[in-house]
Amino acid sequence: MSGDSVDFDVFRDDWGIPHLRAGDAVSLAYAQGCVTAVDRGWQLEVERHRMLGTSAGPLGEQALAWDRFARRARLADTARRCYEALDDETRAWVGAYVDGVNHGLSQLGDTAPEFARAGVALGRWEAWTPLGVWLGAHVLFAGFPAKLWRDEVVRRLGADAVGLFATDGPGTSGSNGWLVEGAAGARGAGGGAVVAGDPHRFIEDPGVYQQVHLSCPEFDVVGLAVPGVPGIGHFGHTGKVAWAITNAMSDYQDLYRERLRRTGGGGVEALGPDGWEVAHVHVEDGVEVVETERGVVIIGGPDEVGSGGEGEGGGECIGIGIGEGEGISLRQPARVYGDLGFAALPALLRARTVADVDRAFDRWAEPVNVVLAADTEGGTLHRVAGTVPVRDPENMVRVVPAWEERYAWRGTYAPMPRAEVEGGIAVMANERSLAAPLGVEFAPPHRARRIAELLDGRPKWRAEDMSAVHMDTQLASAEPLLALVEEVEGLAGDAAALREALLNWDRRMAAGSVRAAAFARVRAGVVRRLAAHPSLAPLADLAPAYPEVFRPWLALLPRVAFGLENLLTGTQFPYEERLAVVREAVEEVAGLPPGTTWGELHRLAPWQALPDPDAAWPGLDGDHDCVLATSSVPGLTDLSARGPSARYAWDLARRDDSRWVVPLGASGVPGSAHHRDQLPLWLRGELAPVVTDFTLLTKENPLVTDAYENENENENEHEHEYEHEYERGYENEHGYENEHEHEYEQHVDGFGTFRLTRLDPSGADIDVLHGWVSEERARFWGMNGIGRDDVREIYAHLDSLDTHHAYLVRLDGTPVALFQTYEPEADRVSECYEVEDGDIGVHLLVGPAGGAGAVRGFTGALVGVLTSYALDGLGRKRLVAEPDARNEKAIALFARIGFELAGEIVLPEIDLPEVHLPEKRAQLAFYSR
C-alpha cells in the first residue's frame, strides 16, 4: 500500500494517545503501523533487531548474548513460517500494518535521539516482521529456562528439593485481572460489568503497551496494543464486549537433552528414539545453528567437550547439565505447528459478544493465557487460551532425553479449561487454579485472595473505583518471616526496638513507610544468609556455566528470595538455624541508620535499550506479592524492574467511563510532551479517562509529531525526570510580566500553567480568600462567619512569621486554591508526633469548582504541582498533613494520592493575640519521596 493512496485520520487526546479512523480494516491497520512508527520508531527498530539477532549493532556488546540465542532459536525463520501459513485475509491485514510502519519510519520514524546516539540508520520491515516481534517478546515468557534450574536441583539435591523453590520467580511475567458482573450480580455500579487489572511485565522505556483507539465502519475498539504488532490482543473494549488476560503459567515449551555427532561434509546427526537422524545445520554470522527432530539446539552442540564455562572460540561448553557431544534443544508450538495465533487478532476487533471473544481465542496460540471477558448483554467468559502439547508430565519439570519415545509430543491439549463466573466476581492472578493441569509452578495465592477480599468488601464497583484494588500494598507473604521474628528472644537495645516495630507493622509496603523498609532489609539479610547455607552450596555456582541469556533462572539468590516462604516453613533448614538467621538479620538491620523509607530503597528501574545514566526514577509502593506487584529481588536489589506495565478498567455500561494508564506515556520519543506525562498518574494509582468521541479529540496531520517542541532541544539535561507531567517552569532572571511575583510555576498538559504566589494580605487576595472561607464547605478551616478584616489580620500575622507561609495558587491567572506551609516544630502539631529533619507541614483549600476545577483529574494535577514544589522546590523530605478527623473527603484524598495515614491526634487549644485556635481532632498523615 502507498501512503498517498490510504485515507485515514489521526486524532489525539490530552495524553497524546492516538485515535485512528479509516474507511476499512486494512486501511486502519496501515494507519496503526504508520502512527506507531512515528510515536515509537526507536522501539520498533530495537525490536526488529532483537528478533533478527542483530541487536548488538545498535545496542553494543551487551546484546550479543541475546543475539546468539535469537539466531540459534531461529526466531526469524519461525516468524516467516508462521506468516506464510496465515490465511489470505490475515496476511493482507498484517501486510498493511507493515506498509504503514515503513511509511511512518521513512517520514518521521528516526526523530528519536537514540538513533544519533547509537549511530544507526532505520531498517526496513518485512511482511513477517510483526510475527517475529511477537515471538521475540514472548519466547521466554513461559520461563522454560526454569527447567534447567529444576534439572540441576534434582541432580544435586534430589527430586524432593524442587518444591522448595516453586514460585512465580525470576524472569516470569504475571498479571492481575478481575471481573465484577453488572446489575444481575449487583456489582457493576453503572448496571454493566467491569473488567479490570494490570499486566506485570518488565517496565520498559518506551513502554511495552501502547494505548490506541481503532475505528472503521466495521468496528470501533480501544485497548492496549503491543508496539510492532497490529490490532489489540491482550486488553480491549469494542463497546459491546471487553476482554483481558493474565499469564496462565502454563508449560508449553520443552527442553530435550540431545546426543549429537559430526558426520562427513560438515553434517550433524542427533540420536532420536529410532536411532541416529540427520539434523539441519547452517552458520549465521559465525553462529552455528543446529536443529534436530525435536527442536533448535540452544545450548551446547556436537563439539561440546564438557569443560564448563564459555569455551574458546566463542563456543558454549557448559559441561554441567550435559556431557561431551551433547546439547539441549528447545521445542515450542510455534515452530512445530507454524502458528502464532495471529488470526485471533482481527477476530477480536470484530467481537460483539463473549461468544465472539471465545471463538477468537480458540485461534490463540501463545503465550498461553487465562481470559476474562464480559459483554453488554450480561454474558461472561473465563477460560484458558493457547496451544499446550500433550506429553509426559516429566517434560514439564526438567530436561528430558531426546532418544526416549515416552517424551515425544502426542497432539495438543483440548478442550482448554474454563469456569463459570460465580458470585458476581472472577479473579485471575497467576495462581494455581483454572490452568493447574497445564503447568508446574504458579504464583503464590496471595494476590488472588487479596483481590477477591477487596472486591467482596463493597457491593458495587465502578471503573473509577478500581484504583483501590490496583494500589493495594498488603504483603501477606511477610507472615512466615514475621512469625520467626516474634519467636526471637533476648534482643536488646535497637534490635529489641526493631523487633517490636516489625511486629506492630501494618504489613503494607507503602513507599513512605519506615517499617516496610526495615522489614525489607531484614528479609534481604535472611535471604543472603540462607543462600549461603552449606546445604545449598551445590546450587551456588550454576549461572556462570550456562549461556548468559538463561542466567537469571539459574542464580541461587533470586531463587531463595522468591521461594522464601517455602524455605522458612519447610524442613530444608532446622528450626534453630532459621531462628538464628532471622536473629542475625534483625541485629544487622538494627545497626543501620534509622528513618529510611521503603520508597528510598524501592525505586523504579526500567529497562532502556540505551541506558540513560543520569535519569532519576521515583520510589514505589508495593512489592512482589502485593496486588501492587512492583518486584525487586530481595537480597540482591530493592530496585524494581518489573511491575504494572499498564492498568485498565473497562466499563461495560458506558465505555467512556472506562479508565487506563501506562507507566510512562504514549510517546516513545524523549523530549515529547507525552513521553512520561502519565508517570505521575501511574505512581498515584490514578487512571486517565478513555475518550472515544472524536468530536472531543484533536485532529492532526498523520505525520505530525511533537517530538521536539524546542528546536534547540531542552537545555536541562534532566528534562524528562519522573516528577513532572509538564515542562517545569523556572523563574526567569529578569522576572515575569505577570503582576504577581511568584515562587513556583509548572505547566500541566490538559489544564494549563499553575503558579504559586505569596498571598498578599493587604490586596485583592484577601477578597478571594474571604469568599472561599465563608462557604459552608470550608467549615473545617474554622473561619465561617468572620469578616474580611479578620481574615486579613490572620494572614497578615502569618505573613510576618518565618515559619509559616501562605500562597495563592493560580491556574492561567485564575485563583484556584490556597496552599499553606509551616515548620512543624514551630506548630502545635509537634506536640503530637516526633518531628524529623526535612519535614514540612501543608494545608490545602481548593477553591469553588468551576472552569478547570470542574475537570476530572484537576485535584490530582493540583496536588502533583504542590507536592513537587514542597519536595523538590523547597528540598524537603516529607510532607506532614493534619486534616480535621471529621473531614472524610480530605482524608480520602490524602490517602488516594499516597499519604500514609498515621492515626488520629488531638491538637491542643492555643490562644494567640491575633487568632484563637480551638482544640482539634485531626488525622495525621505523611507523604515521603
Query: For the residues of 120-135, what is the DSSP string, one character each?
Result: -------TTHHHHHHH
Span 403-410, mean pLDDT?
Answer: 98
pLDDT, position 784: 64
pLDDT single digits (tens) 874-924? 888 899 999 888 887 778 778 777 788 888 899 887 765 555 667 888 899
φ/ψ of 72, rounded to 5, equals -65, -35
Closest CA to 764 of 805, 801, 804, 815: 815
Q: What's the chain's Rg over C-alpha atoms?
A: 29
Q: Quick check: 317 and 328 in contact, CB under 8 A?
A: no
Span 66-77, mean pLDDT?
Answer: 97
pLDDT, position 313: 34
pLDDT single digits (tens) 516-526? 999 999 999 99
Q: Quick check: 806 and 799 in contact, CB under 8 A?
A: yes
Largest CA distance in the chain: 103
* CA dist., res. 784 & res. 775, Å (int): 7
Q: Quick check: 116 and 164 in contact, CB under 8 A?
A: no
Closest CA to 628 of 818, 492, 480, 474: 474
What single letter denotes the amino acid at residue 41?
G
* CA dist., res. 166 & res. 30, Å (int): 44
pLDDT, position 794: 85
Per the model's pLDDT, the better-predicted residue between 78 and 875 turns out to be 78
Per the model's pLDDT, the better-predicted residue between 445 and 166 turns out to be 445
- Peptide linkage before 761 cis (omega within 30 of 0): no
Q: What is the DSSP string of 829-853?
A: GGGTS---TTEEEEEEEE--S-GGG
Helices (H), 20-128: 25-52, 56-59, 64-72, 75-84, 88-108, 114-118
Lowest mean pLDDT among 235-249, 481-495, 646-660, 873-887: 873-887
Q: What angle do CA 140, 144, 145 make, to 5 degrees?
A: 90
Q: In what order do the strands lie in the sheet with 920-928?
A: 728-729, 742-748, 752-758, 804-811, 814-822, 839-846, 878-881, 920-928, 900-907
pLDDT, position 887: 82
pLDDT, position 855: 62
Q: Quick check: 608 and 628 in contact, CB under 8 A?
A: no
Which residues have C-beta within 8 Å of that of residue 72, sequence separation ≥ 6? 287, 289, 290, 296, 297, 298
* CA dist., res. 861 & res. 882, Å (int): 21
Residue with cell 559441561: 319
pLDDT, position 865: 87
pLDDT, position 735: 33
Closest CA to 136 of 332, 324, 380: 332
Rounded-to-10 torsion of CA 455, 349, 99, 71:
60
Of the chain, the percentage scoring pLDDT greater than 90 comes to: 67
* CA dist., res. 391 & res. 775, Å (int): 73
pLDDT, position 445: 94
Residue 625 has pLDDT above 70, yes or no: yes
Q: Residue 694 to residues 11, 18, 217, 352, 710: CA-CA distances in angstroms?
A: 7, 11, 14, 21, 29
Closest CA to 425 of 224, 181, 653: 181
- Peptide linkage before 644 cis (omega within 30 of 0): no
Can you say whether the dihedral through the CA atoms of 547, 129, 112, 210 is positive or negative?
negative
pLDDT single digits (tens) 526-544? 999 999 999 999 999 898 8
CATH class of 728-928: alpha beta
Confidence of residue 846 (pLDDT cuts 50, 70, 90): confident
Residue 358 has pLDDT above 60, yes or no: yes
Closest CA to 638 of 812, 516, 750: 516
Q: What is the DSSP string of 723-767?
A: T-SSPEE---TT--SSSS-EEEEEEETTTEEEEEEE--TTSTHHH
Closest CA to 349 of 232, 242, 234, 246: 232
Residue 737 has pLDDT above 90, yes or no: no
Q: Quick check: 839 and 878 in contact, CB under 8 A?
A: yes
134: left (phi over 0), alpha (psi -120 to 50) or beta: alpha
Rounded-to-10 torsion of CA 535, 541, 546, 548:
120
Q: Residue 92 to residues 3, 71, 685: CA-CA distances in angstroms?
A: 16, 27, 40
Residue 293 has pLDDT above 60, yes or no: yes
Q: Quick check: 427 and 449 in contact, CB under 8 A?
A: no
* CA dist., res. 884 & res. 861, Å (int): 23
pLDDT, position 23: 96
Domain(s) of CATH 3.40.630.30: residues in the chain: 728-928
* CA dist., res. 714 & res. 730, Å (int): 13
Within its chain, how far is the Cα of 130 from the centroid?
23
DSSP letter at 188 equals B
Residue 417 has pLDDT above 70, yes or no: yes
Confidence of residue 183 (pLDDT cuts 50, 70, 90): low
Span 137-153, mean pLDDT?
Answer: 93
Burial (Cβ within 10 Å: 0-12, 13-18, ≥19) of residue 510: buried
Span 841-863, mean pLDDT?
Answer: 74
pLDDT, position 38: 94
Span 15-33, mean pLDDT?
Answer: 97
pLDDT single digits (tens) 79-88? 999 999 999 9
Q: Residue 432 to residues 389, 445, 643: CA-CA distances in angstroms?
A: 19, 7, 20
Q: Residue 48 to residues 53, 173, 228, 338: CA-CA distances in angstroms?
A: 9, 22, 9, 20
Other C-beta atoms within 10 Å of 445: how many?
17
* CA dist., res. 676 & res. 664, Å (int): 4
pLDDT, position 389: 98
Q: Quick check: 653 and 464 in contact, CB under 8 A?
A: no
pLDDT single digits (tens) 209-244? 999 999 999 999 999 999 999 999 999 999 999 999
Rounded-to-10 torsion of CA 897, 463, 14, 640:
50
Residue with cell 507493622: 505
Query: Given the DSSP bridges, would you call strands 254-262 and 326-331 parallel, antiparallel or unpaired?
Result: antiparallel
Per the model's pLDDT, the better-predicted residue between 873 and 332 turns out to be 332
* CA dist., res. 754 & res. 747, Å (int): 6
Per the model's pLDDT, the better-predicted residue between 856 and 839 turns out to be 839
Highest mean predicted confidence (pLDDT) among 2-6, 406-410, 821-825: 406-410
Confidence of residue 753 (pLDDT cuts 50, 70, 90): confident
Residue 638 has pLDDT above 80, yes or no: yes
Can you say whether the dihedral through the CA atoms of 678, 679, 682, 686 is positive or negative?
negative
Residue 45 has pLDDT above 70, yes or no: yes
pLDDT, position 741: 43
pLDDT, position 314: 37
Confidence of residue 172 (pLDDT cuts 50, 70, 90): low
Q: What angle do CA 574, 578, 579 make, to 5 degrees?
A: 115
Exposure string for 88-110, b = 16+ CB within 10 A, e = fewer: eebbebbbbbbbbbbbbbebbbb
Average pLDDT score over the chain: 88
pLDDT, position 107: 85
pLDDT, position 850: 52
